[in-house]
Chains A and B, each alone.
Chain A
């Protein structure tokens, strides 16, 4: 099968190559999925599990990409809950070969059914951003109606999900980003927007939850805004900052079938919009996923999706 492979960590995204790889086999409780659409996170090539397995052994050549939408073509020994021919979407294991390929083997519990009226491209754009927002707001942040949320990077893939889910839960949402992101953040439902380059973050006043995707100085300054009993939730690794009277939680997203189903249901109801940037074919993926100065200048803030099957 065709796949994007990486073999050299130092080469970064420039080291991606379209190559021929053997089709994966379904292990116990796996399914094999024919990938129709794949999502890739630009920082993936810096993550240890892209390069080594859980025993720290080299696993190159490795196939990046962890989000997928597609059709089940095989079941592993003992696999239940999904059927051959079923449309599915979800998140592949960080330590296994990924979704920038024609086929991928994934534990069935990491996938959920994708309803027939949701496009594969949309399905592949939801897992990381949707599950990250869901888990950060509800499992770790215990968000409730009437609370206020500071959503950093509110025009990005994760931030737009955070904004929409927090609004739906009845929270007051303050989005942040660069000046150019203002309208997009407001369109996704933020009540207010803070331009991180020009506005004073400290003017926001108190919030109950900070959803951090930036880290560093922004994270530290944000922690100071958190009310007693509030929470700093971060997806950029262990936090240095901690609210004076509250919790700091850093987490890595995990796949969860029930949560994926909640997310896709909201999408069908029109309560959630996805945030897709470029869409490219697998043949064009290497170019599409290597951001040139031209693309960077255009500031495409949505998620790049590779449409593996046209």
Chain B
């Protein structure tokens, strides 16, 4: 099968190559999915799990990509809950990856059915940002109606999901980003926008939850605006930043069939819009990922036209 492979961590995205690889086999409780659309996250090539397995052994040549939408073509030994021919979408194991390819083997529990009226491209764009937003707001941030949320990078793939979910539960949303993204952030439902380069973050006043995607100085300054009992949720790794009277939680997203199903239902209902910047074919994938200008939103590879 055709796949994008990487073999050299130091080469970064320039090291991506289109290559021929053997088709994956379904192991116990896996399915094999014929990938129709694949999502790739920009910093994936810097994650240890891209390069080694859980025992720390080299796993190159590696096929990156953790998001997918496609059709089940085989079931592993003992696999239940999904059928051959079924449309599915979801998130692979970060130590397996493999969605920038014509086929990928994934644990069935990491996937959910993709309704027939949702395009594969849309399905592949939802898994990582949708689950990240859901888990950060609801599992870790325990967000509820009437609270206020400071959403960093609100025009991005994750931030736009965070903004929409938070609005839907009745929270007051303050989005941040660069000035060029103001209108996009407001369009996704933020009630206010803070331009991180020109506005004073400290003027925001008290919020109940900060959803951080940057870490560093922004995370540190953000904790000052968290009210007593509030939470800093971050996906930028462990941080020293901690609210004076509240919690800090850093997490890595975990796939979850029930949550994927909640997310896709909202897309069908028109309550959630996906945030796709670019769609490219597998042949154009290397060039698409190596473009110099930075785009807000997901780059999706349409593996099957």
Contacts and interface: CB of A to CB of B under 8 A. Distances in A.
A105 interface: yes
Contact of A252 (B29, B54, B250): B29
Contacts of A249: 80
Interface residues of B, number: 32
A80 B105 CA distance: 26
Interface stretch (A38-46, A48-56, A144-152, A295-303): A48-56
B63 to A, nearest CB: 12
A49 B54 contact: no
B139 interface: yes
A1 to B, nearest CB: 15
A80 B249 contact: yes
A77 B29 contact: no
B254 A29 contact: yes
A298 B78 CA distance: 32
A250 B105 CA distance: 20
A252 B77 contact: yes
B77 A80 contact: no
A24 B251 CA distance: 21
B49 A56 contact: no
Interface string A73-88: 0000111110000000
Contact of A27 (B54, B109, B250): B54
Nearest to A22: B55
Contact of B252 (A55, A56, A77, A254): A77
Contacts of A251: 78-80
Given A78-B251, A80-B249, A140-B80, A27 B49 contact: yes
Given A27-B49, A29-B254, A249-B80, A54 B237 contact: no
A109 B78 CA distance: 20
Contacts of A27: 49, 54, 95
Nearest to B258: A258
A109 B80 CA distance: 19
A49 B28 CA distance: 8
A48 B27 CA distance: 10
A56 B94 CA distance: 18
Interface in A77-112: 77-81, 94-96, 105, 109
Contacts of B95: 27-28
Interface of A: 25, 27-30, 48-49, 53-56, 59, 77-81, 94-96, 105, 109, 139-140, 237-238, 249-252, 254
Interface of B: 25, 27-30, 47-49, 53-56, 59, 77-81, 94-96, 105, 109, 139-140, 237-238, 249-252, 254
Which 4 interchain pairs have the tightest Cβ spacing? A252-B78, A78-B252, A27-B54, A80-B251
Given A54-B96, A252-B77, 11 more contacts: A27-B49, A28-B94, A48-B28, A59-B55, A80-B249, A139-B80, A237-B78, A252-B78, A252-B79, A254-B29, A254-B109
